[in-house]
Structure 1
Amino acid sequence: MLSVKRRLNNIELFKEETKKFRVIHDDKKLIHSFENLSNELFYEIFDYLDGYEIYQAFSNLNSRFQALLTCSSLRLKIDLRFHPEDILQYCSTYVVTPNKDRIISLRWSNLRDYKSGFTLFNIDSLFSRLESLTLGDIESNQLIPLLISLISLPRLYSLTINYDDDLKDISNIYQILLNFPMLKYNKLSFFSLESFIPLSRATTDQFSSIKYLVIDHCCSLDELIDILSYTPQLYRLTCKHVDESKKNIVKDTLNVIFNLTCISIAACYAEFDEVAMFLTTLSPQLELLRISTFRDVTYLDANRWERIISQHLHHLSTFEFKYEEPIDEDLEVSVYHERLNEFNSLFWMKRQWLFKIYIDTNFWENNVIVCSIFPYRPIQGNSHEERKNNESFNDILSQNIIEQSIIPNQQESFAYSKMLSETNQLIVIDLSYSEFDETFFDTIHPVLTTIQITYLNIMLRDIFIGALIDLVGCLPNLDSLVISSLSMIQPRCLSIEETRTFRLLSNNNKITKVNLKEMNDLAQVQFLLDLCSQMKYFEVDCTNGVSPENVVQFILMKNIKRTCNLRLLCLKILQTNMNIVDTLKSIIDFEQLCHNYTIQQIDTKIYLRLN
């Protein structure tokens, strides 16, 4: 709060100072009165600069700037990473060493890449104002002695370490770190496929002041619990990789951390039973939980998550859950896959936590199916126009859901329908691998048919129509289809089975709402009209070479039998076509394309309602 007030005061000060600026034209020579700025404003500017940059720019200019640089009020932030050897030596000799007592932030990398015998300053008790220290690629023989000397620094609040050495010393390193008296933020990073942190549990007098802990390395759940026994004041916990426990966890030995409100685990391989015990015992005040899991299908039990949250995590407001499973020969439907539909119950809707599934295949990486729960957020896009386009499509979905809603309260019904319009989604990021593997859709079909997917969002560009046919065939409950772009250029001919499936799907699918975001060929429109015979709402992009007039004529004249269910046609147009409504009305009336209709324009969209 004080920092905010200070900055606001400096903004006012800056406004006053700018009034003092004079730009003097003397024989076409432009002179700026930069030196007229106050000392306070210079110190505010220096707060945004690295210490080396300050000295390089202002030292030896004149007596006034020299006094500013030597004043005890100047707080220096030094970043020694990524500098060549000569600059590094200059910083050490002329910037750091004479100013140790004024440095508040220091970033320091390992010196192994420099010449042998190259030395810098020592980090010692003279760094009396040091608040933040970052150490990069440091080895054990350097780190442990350094940590011992750092314990005495009275204002060291933040310590970030990238460790690059034998893991046998990790336990000793943690023992030292957890004894720092003033430390509030600690991050320890190192690479290891396995964990080995034989840290003993904290005794009654071994407590750390750390509030923000980032464990940027692999550790088992029991090792994590041992580390947390030292941190009763912890507020936020972030873990990179948590493995299953190496020893049994006894619930009665878990210490409650009442201040712990945020937990993030980027990769969790621990058993769900252990994690459930960990969450329900350790952090009753938890407000935010982010957790990503892999392969263990027991995490897909929506009812169990509901019990954990409703009975133990009463303050949880943000829940982000991701489950990732490879698409391979081992992918099988289980009872837990069937329970995924429970993530759409009223419990999740009331909390505005949405359930979505992603498919991402890449020929060079693993092909995965991802199930996720995350908080509802307003639609984001690259532009205001894109957001409005997405919102209008979802409004159509919401209105349709309201009509079918069983919730008596109208306001609650609208909120519920808004959630449903963005949940039950299958989002396809990449399907390139499916073109080379004919068994791909056979593999994912059992899983997708188990889940009641009603909304298919294909984000990849130019999906092959054969892949789209196969995908729609896996989704018997599909109601809404969004396609970024449809490729009519076939990488291969449709198989006999795909052709048969297409004919069957065109008569039996339940798709009523379609959005084609990019269209450059009327053949794309024709394909979707043939595929989605039950279509009631059709949104088409008309900004890429095909005019709105041609689209209207094509749909209403040449496809009259296929559009008998169509009630609303939405055309996205260019800014240059903003006065096209009268033209469209003339075409419709002259050619008698339809008799009962209304047409209106909202921004860059034309809405043609067929009565």
Structure 2
Amino acid sequence: MEQKSQITSSINSISSLHIVTCFEDLANELFCEIFEYFDYISSYEIFFNLNQRFRNLFINSPHPIKINFSSLSKSIFESSYENIILPYQHKIQLLYLSNPFIIDFFLLSNSLIQNFINLQTFLIKDIESKYLENLLNDLLLLPNLSTLVIICKHHYVSNRSNLYKQVFRLSALKYCKLSLNPYKVFECVSREGADRIPPCVETNKFSPLTHLIIEDTIVLYELSALLSYVPQLRHLSINQLCTSSNVQPNICPIVSQQLTHVSLHLGNVYFDVFELLIKNILHQVQVLHISTPADQTYLNANRWESLILLYMPYLQIFDIDYHVYTSRVDGEIYRNLIDQFESSFWIEQQWFFAYHMKVMGDYCQIYFYSTNPYKKRQFTLDLELIKTTTRSTKQIQMNSVHHLKIEDENCTINCINYFPNVTQLTFKECLLQEKNYISPNILNRIFPLKQITELNIFLCNSYFKDFIQLITSLPNIHKLCLHRSKFQKDFHLSKQVENFHNKIKDVTIVIRCAFEDMKFLVNFFPQLQHLTISMTKGCFVEIIQYLLSKNNEKTPYLNSIWLKSFDLSLSEKIMAVLQSEKIRHVDSMSNSSHDIRLWCETILPSTNNNCTVEYDGHLLEEDQVIERKGKLYKVEDCALQRAYNACGMYLLQMVSIACDVIQNEKHKVPSKRRVRKSLRRKLLTESCCETLCTVAEMIRYCPSH
């Protein structure tokens, strides 16, 4: 939004100096700002071939290039590689890879990444472990690489200690996030003595890292060794810190004066061991976030007070997250322990807490956490709030939460928290069933509905009409996961659905259902680009045959399909379907015998240039414009649509408005959108000033179109 405001301000300042009669009158500097507003590949596709001036702006632009290769069709990637990557590799500053086919292409190409000499930020997701060592060797040759994010597939990484040492050798690295073995169990780690991270012995080979995030399991005896490589480290986050069942906890004291921000998920590290960790390593910490095991000592307020006063003199923020299942009788013991956190010490520090409990027969679930500040990115609504230690009765603002899980209807209705920054929403159990259905009005009281971009629905058996209502209330969803969820047979709403629009582009379906039901469900997402289907048995062959048919215009933008957990006997049938001449071109990749990824060409909806529309006794041809009650209308895709005269300085504003509020206008746009090749060859002023533009035409200049 700030960038858009800057562009608008620049337009206003230019227009105050002289009259701008067409879009091309804007200064080159302003166009460069506009290109920054779009994703680079999208802006290249939109503007490069408009005329020679735009082409020169791209060729001679001094601005660095930021490339995001996530959801692209094969043809667009090949075009981008030939026209952007190869000629401008020295200007690339950011590179993000997540498509497995594109990852393979980059990593199997002969030292391609070595040529990005000005690369500063490199992010790679779902890389296979076999590529890691060679990749890190290539990265050693990049003198400006300051940010690195590596997220490995769920494969076992055997040489993790060498990989860590390679990362620490990157000479300019300041920020690093590593996810090598995120699901590795404690026992497995403890047996790998040969793969421990050794202490740094070369005093001239320290890493310049200041931020390190490890989504991996680190054994306690490795921590001192790991910190010996990074003396300038200020922020440390470890997803799983554990003790070994075979080795006594041994925490070597280390001077780490710079380490002030620490976030730890303490797998099986009990309080006595954690106390040693604070005394020997973390005594300089100013901000502490911990998620603890079910050790009752972590709820001993007096021990915490003593530890903080004696060994944590600089602590400013204390954030604890404690979760335990226990007997209903012992639940009262926990209540008494938690009451101790209301003493003057905690109140003077302005550290407040909340206590939730849920009784389940003879057992209960207890959740105790900090509320001031609450710094977790995820929160679950499933336990009843018992009390808070704060004296305030105001609604608690949970600003750090980006992922909200809803598992209990009553907790949602009675929720006193507000989550202003939530973008990911998860429903669990049966909360979409009619008797438990939570209306959008209730949801809007606890988070802004329009902010949700990702929706996950688990273990629900609901009516399709309620699903439609939910999607309607969340207009900006881009990603949807339906996991073991079923819909009642109310698919008779299909006529209503045909006129329903959504922005969902990434869908995961983990449902066993008939082909017609799967077909109907997939057709519900006309902007679908990536589809994941996971089921042991079902209609794999039929749905692939349907989706990839050259005649299928229901999902024209679909470019990636991931088939997971299918019956091995279907593999040959699926491969036979892919060889058919009726199927568009597809590249396939098999990660295992039950797992196939497909990368396919997109198909544009068919055009109809010879249609006519009858109005007031006259036949109107395609592109013909008429005026009705003082408003302009244009025949677009065989329908009469509202048209706009967007000349000069108003053009950019009109396109921007169309991109931002297209959901409110989509009822005026036919479900089958045309994309005529001639449109992108014209000047923007010719498209929208001389011949007028409908909303459908304007949004072709949006990044997502």
Shorter-chain TM-score category? Answer: 0.5 to 0.7
Aligned to 2:485: none
Evaluate the alpha carbon distance shift between residue 58 and residue 361 of structure 1 in structure 2; reply closer, same or farther with a 3 A threshold: farther
Q: What is the aligned partner in structure 2 of residue 355 from structure 1?
A: 353
Give the one of 332, 343, 346 matched to 2:344. Answer: 346
Distance between the aligned counterparts of 1:90 and 1:310, measured in 2? 62
Distance 1:334 1:361 in 2: 12
Structure 1 counterpart of 2:53, from 34, 58, 64? 64
Aligned pair partner of 1:461 in 406, 410, 413:
413
Kindly indicate whether the alpha-carbon contact (under 8 Å) linking 2:168 and 2:229 is maintained by their aligned counterparts in 1: yes
1:583-603 per-position Cα deviation (integer Å, ceiling 9, x unaligned) = xxxxxxxxxxxxxxxxxxxxx
Could you tell me which of 154, 179, 184 is aligned with 2:143? 154
Q: Structure 1 residues 111 and 213 mapped into 2: Cα distance closer, same or farther (>3 Å)?
A: same
Query: What is the CA-CA distance between 1:186 and the residue it aligns to?
Result: 0.6
- What is aligned with 1:372? 369
The answer to whether the 8 A contact 1:285-1:313 is kept is yes
Secondary structure, aligned partner of 1:47: helix
Compute the displacement of 1:220 (Å).
Answer: 2.1
In the alignment, what sits opposite 1:171?
A: 161
Cα separation, partners in 2 of 1:115 and 1:202, compared to 1, 3 Å: closer
- Does the C-alpha gap of structure 1 residues 240 and 21 become closer, same or farther in structure 2, counting only changes over 3 Å? farther
What residue number does 2:487 align with?
none
CA distance in 1 between counterparts of 2:169 and 2:332 reads: 47
Contact 2:353 2:371 in 1 (8 A): yes
1:18-38 Cα shifts (integer Å, max 9, x gaps): 4357565xxxxxxxx222222
**Bigger mean CA deviation after superposition, 115-124 or 204-213:** 115-124
Instruction: Give CA-to-partner distance per residue, 1:33-74, whole Å, 9 cap, x none.
Output: 222222222222322322211210121222221121112512
1:600 alignment counterpart? none
Q: Give the aligned partner of residue 314 of structure 1.
A: 313
Distance 1:19 1:283, change over 3 A: farther
In the aligned structure 2, how far is the partner of 1:347 from the partner of 1:286?
A: 19
Q: What are the residue-to-residue correspondences of 1:66-105 with 2, within 5 Å?
A: 66-71=55-60, 73-105=62-94
Q: Tell me the C-alpha RMSD between the 2 structures.
A: 3.9
For residues 281-317 of structure 1, the C-alpha deviation after alignment (integer angstroms, 9 at most, x for no partner) is 3233322111111311111111111112122222222
Kept in 2: contact 1:216–1:241 (CA 8 A): yes
- The correspondence of residues 544-563 of structure 1 with structure 2, limited to 5 A, is none
Q: Is the 8 A contact 1:225 1:254 kept in 2?
A: yes
For 1:199, what is the secondary structure of its paired residue?
A: coil
Q: Does residue 133 in structure 1 map to residue 122 in structure 2?
A: yes
What SS does the corresponding residue of 2:273 show, helix, strand or coil?
Answer: helix
State the one-letter code of the partner of 2:228. S
Structure 2's unaligned 5+ residue stretches are 190-194, 375-386, 397-404, 416-434, 437-444, 446-705
Aligned-partner Cα distance in 1 for 2:298–2:414: 34
Q: Distance in 1 between matches of 2:174 and 2:332?
A: 44
> 1:265–1:15: structure 2 CA closer, same or farther, 3 Å change rule?
farther
Distance apart, 1:93 and its partner CA: 2.0
- Code of the residue aligned with 1:17 in structure 2: it is I
Residue 551 of structure 2: aligned partner: none
Q: Distance in 2 between matches of 1:303 and 1:224?
A: 27
Change in CA separation of 1:254 and 1:110 when aligned onto 2, cut-off 3 Å: farther
Counterparts of 1:53 and 1:461, CA distance in 2:
42
The Cα shift of 1:130 comes to 0.6
2:184 corresponds to 1:193:
yes
1:205 Cα shift? 3.3
* Residue 85 to residue 287, structure 1, CA distance change in 2 (3 Å): same
Indicate if the aligned counterparts of 1:268 and 1:294 stay in contact, CA closer than 8 A.
yes
Match of 2:34 among 45, 49, 69: 45
Q: State how 1:387-402 maps to structure 2 within 5 Å.
A: none
Indicate if the aligned counterparts of 1:140 and 1:169 stay in contact, CA closer than 8 A. Answer: no
Q: How far does residue 351 in structure 1 lie from its aligned partner after superposition?
A: 1.1
Q: Give the match's secondary structure for 1:186.
A: strand
Q: CA deviation at 1:337?
A: 5.9
**How far 1:232 moved relative to its partner?**
0.9
**Partner of 1:272 in structure 2?**
271
| Preserved CA contact (<8 Å) 2:317 2:373 | no
Specify whether residues 95 and 376 from structure 1 end up closer, same or farther in structure 2 by C-alpha distance, changes over 3 A only: closer
Cα distance in 2 for partners of 1:268, 1:14 equals 55
Cross-structure match for 1:180: 170
Give the match's secondary structure for 2:117.
Answer: coil
Separation of aligned partners in 1, 2:319 and 2:217: 21
**Pairs within 5 Å for 1:234-273:** 234-245=233-244, 247-251=247-251, 253-273=252-272
Q: Structure 2: how far apart are the matches of 1:345 and 1:20?
A: 65
| TM-score, L = length of structure 1 | 0.56
String of CA shifts for 1:169-212, please: whole Å, max 9, x gaps.
22221110011111011111143232535110112334111111
Structure 1 CA distance, aligned partners of 2:289 and 2:53? 52
Question: 1:445: which partner in 2?
Answer: none
Gap regions ≥5 residues in structure 1: 25-32, 378-396, 398-416, 434-457, 464-489, 492-516, 518-611
Q: Distance in 2 between matches of 1:82 and 1:257?
A: 42
Alpha carbons of 1:129 and 1:298: their partners in 2 closer, same or farther (altered >3 Å)?
same
**With CA pairs under 8 Å and 6+ residues apart, which has the higher RCO, 1 or 2?**
2
Residue 107 of structure 1, CA deviation: 0.5
- Following the alignment from structure 1 to structure 2, what is the Cα–Cα distance between the partners of residues 46 and 336? 57
Judge conservation of contact 1:361–1:431 (CA < 8 Å) in 2.
Answer: no
CA 1:71–1:249: 2 relative to 1, 3 Å: farther
Q: Would the alpha carbon gap of residues 205 and 250 (structure 1) be closer, same or farther in structure 2, given more than 3 Å must change?
A: farther
Displacement after TM superposition at 1:80 (Å): 0.7
**Structure 1 counterpart of 2:72, which letter?**
H
Provide closer, same or farther for how the CA distance between residues 367 and 155 of structure 1 changes in structure 2, counting only shifts above 3 A: farther
Confirm or deny: 8 A CA contact 1:359 1:430 kept in the other structure. Answer: no
Matched with 1:558 is none
Q: Is the CA contact 1:159–1:187 (under 8 Å) kept in the aligned structure 2?
A: yes
Alpha-carbon shift at residue 325 of structure 1 (Å): 0.4
Q: Is 1:286 aligned to 2:285, yes or no?
A: yes
Task: Encode CA deviations 1:358-415: one digit per residue, 9 max, x unaligned.
Answer: 125799xx963101233169xxxxxxxxxxxxxxxxxxx9xxxxxxxxxxxxxxxxxx
Q: Which has the larger radius of gyration?
A: 1
Q: Please report how far the alpha carbon of residue 229 of structure 1 lies from its aligned counterpart in structure 2 after TM superposition.
A: 1.9
SS at match of 1:248: coil
2:234 and 2:62 map into 1 onto residues whose CA distance is: 32
| Amino acid of the structure 2 residue aligned with 1:302 | A
Residues 37 and 418 of structure 1: CA distance in aligned 2, closer, same or farther (over 3 Å):
farther
- Partner of residue 300, structure 2: 301
Q: Distance in 2 between matches of 1:68 and 1:23?
A: 19
Change (3 A) 1:362 1:214: farther
Quote how far apart the aligned CAs of 1:245 are.
4.2
Tell me how far 1:335 sits from its aligned partner: 6.8
Aligned residue runs from structure 1 range 216-227, under 5 A: 216-227=215-226
Aligned in 2, Cα 1:74/1:370: closer, same or farther, shift over 3 Å? same
Distance in 2 (CA, whole Å) between partners of 1:155 and 1:73 is 17
Give the secondary structure class of the aligned counterpart of 1:149.
helix
Following superposition, the deviation at residue 462 of structure 1 comes to 8.1
